[in-house]
Amino acid sequence: MAAPGEGDDAQSGPEMSVVVPAQAGIQFPPIAWRFARFDELSPREVHDIFRARAAVFVVEQTCAFQDVDGADPACWHLIGLAPEIVAYCRLVPPGVKYREPSIGRVVTLPPARGIGAGRTLMREAIVRAQALWPGQPLRIGAQMYLKDFYGEFGFAQSSAPYDEDGIMHIEMIREAR
Average of per-residue pLDDT across 61-90: 92
Q: Residue 28 — very low, low, confident or very high, per pLDDT cuts 50/70/90?
A: confident
Peptide bond into 161 cis (omega under 30): no
Q: Residue 5 — very low, low, confident or very high, per pLDDT cuts 50/70/90?
A: very low
- Single-letter amino acid, residue 174: R
Average of per-residue pLDDT across 43-57: 93
Which of 19-33, 68-82, 146-160 comes out lowest in average pLDDT?
19-33
Q: Where are the alpha helices (DSSP H) in the chain?
A: 43-53, 117-132, 147-151
The CA distance from 47 to 108, in Å, is: 17
pLDDT higher than 60, residue 30: yes
Residue 25: its pLDDT value, please?
A: 52
Residue 58: its pLDDT value, please?
A: 82
Residue 173: its pLDDT value, please?
A: 98
Please, what is the end-to-end C-alpha distance for the chain in angstroms? Answer: 25
Pick the residue with more confidence: 165 or 4?
165
Q: What is the mean pLDDT of the chain?
A: 86
Which of 25-34, 48-57, 167-176 comes out lowest in average pLDDT?
25-34
The CA distance from 80 to 17, in Å, is: 9
Q: Locate the DSSP E strands across 64-110.
A: 76-81, 85-92, 102-108
The CA distance from 104 to 120, in Å, is: 15
Residue 11: its pLDDT value, please?
A: 36
pTM of the model: 0.84
Domains, the chain, with CATH or none: 16-135 (3.40.630.30)
pLDDT higher than 60, residue 8: no
